[in-house]
Amino acid sequence: MMKALKETHFSLPGQTDFYRGKVRDVYYVDDMLIMVATDRISAFDVVLPRAIPYKGQVLNQIANYFLDATAPLVPNWKLASPDPVVTIGRKCQPYPVEMIIRGYLTGSAWRAYKAGAREICGVKLPEGMRENQRFPQPIITPTTKAAEGHDQDISKEDIISQGLVPADEYEVLEEYTRRLFEHGTLMAAQKGLILVDTKYEFGKTAEGIFLIDEIHTPDSSRYFYADGYEERFSRGKPQHQLSKEFVREWLIENGFMGRQGEQVPAMDDGFVEQISNRYIELFEIVTGQAFIPAPSDNPEERIYHNILAYLEAKQ
């Protein structure tokens, strides 16, 4: 199998800090963030032991595709992408919440609904809904952003009352979230897809509020194929989807949901390759572009030199 990039170990000129997230290695240089999308994969807020070849490239290039497409609608953090797995952007103070927006009742929201919940994050849900049913209007169900462990559902009212986000700024986050989701829905429809749900993260600088991190990637979003959706829904059949939900479903089937004491099941080479192929498939369908694998003889050296070249050009 192609070797996956699990982590990086750079020492960059002007570097002031480093942070290793679930899937990204983040280098702080002056007033910029240099974000390297590795091939790590997480589910249920746990980083899985096996990395997925090309996943980082897929994630980074899809995010860049949508950051560029939505920049006229919502200001974002991106400054450049000097390597297929790297995005460099302005350093923002992140808000401690993730803005999740759902167009359909599926995934964790469906599991909660099936268990009897009729309210998620302060949003009341109608009776009689079925799995994968479209909401009359997309609903926003935020979570707190945990540095470690599980993110927690939270209502708009609690976000404001706890002082996590000032009320006026939260209104901007909601407006940006709906604007991005509407545009992402239209872009997906042009490719024969349904943007089911997604999450956005935001931060601010003295200049204002910016969309940060990734956008409309398979790590942050769920897509259904539009063709066959109605028939599958009417018959109560699972939807044909492009997302990493199938990884979560496989983990659940093998006894893992990220709960204390549970062991991550072993992922064999065949399953790792299947995940990689799913990510590449999503890239090609979502962007309408052929996936061109980055040179992988020595990915760390390639990434390092491409970052250095960008930093030197800025001086």
CATH classification of the domain holding 215: 3.30.470.20
Strand-pair category, 143-144 with 208-212: unpaired
Could you state, in chain order, the average pLDDT of each consecutive group of 10 residues for the chain (315 residues)?
A: 88 96 94 96 91 95 97 98 98 97 96 96 96 97 78 94 97 98 97 96 97 91 95 96 84 92 93 92 92 90 97 90
Structural domains in the chain (count): 1
Distance CA 268, CA 250 (A): 12
Is 0.85 topped by the overall pTM? yes
Report the candidate in 86, 87, 62 with the shortest Cα–Cα distance to residue 77: 87
SS3 label, residue 19: strand
Residue 302 maps to a domain:
no
DSSP string over 32-64: EEEEEE-S--EETTEE-SS--TTHHHHHHHHHH
Residue 309 maps to a domain:
no
Could you list the residue range(s) of the whole structural domain that residue 143 is in?
94-247
Residue 57 maps to a domain:
no
Residue 224 maps to a domain:
yes
Residue 312 maps to a domain:
no
Residue 205 maps to a domain:
yes
Distance CA 259, CA 44 (A): 9
What confidence score (pLDDT) does residue 149 get?
56
The token duo for 163 is 């002082």
Residue 291 maps to a domain:
no
Q: Are 50 and 185 in contact (CB under 8 A)?
A: no
C-alpha angle 76-147-125 in degrees, rounded to nearest 5: 75
Q: 214 to each of 61, 89, 91, how far by Cα in Å?
A: 10, 12, 14
Report the candidate in 44, 2, 3 with the shortest Cα–Cα distance to residue 262: 44
Q: Are 195 and 69 in contact (CB under 8 A)?
A: no
Residue 307 maps to a domain:
no
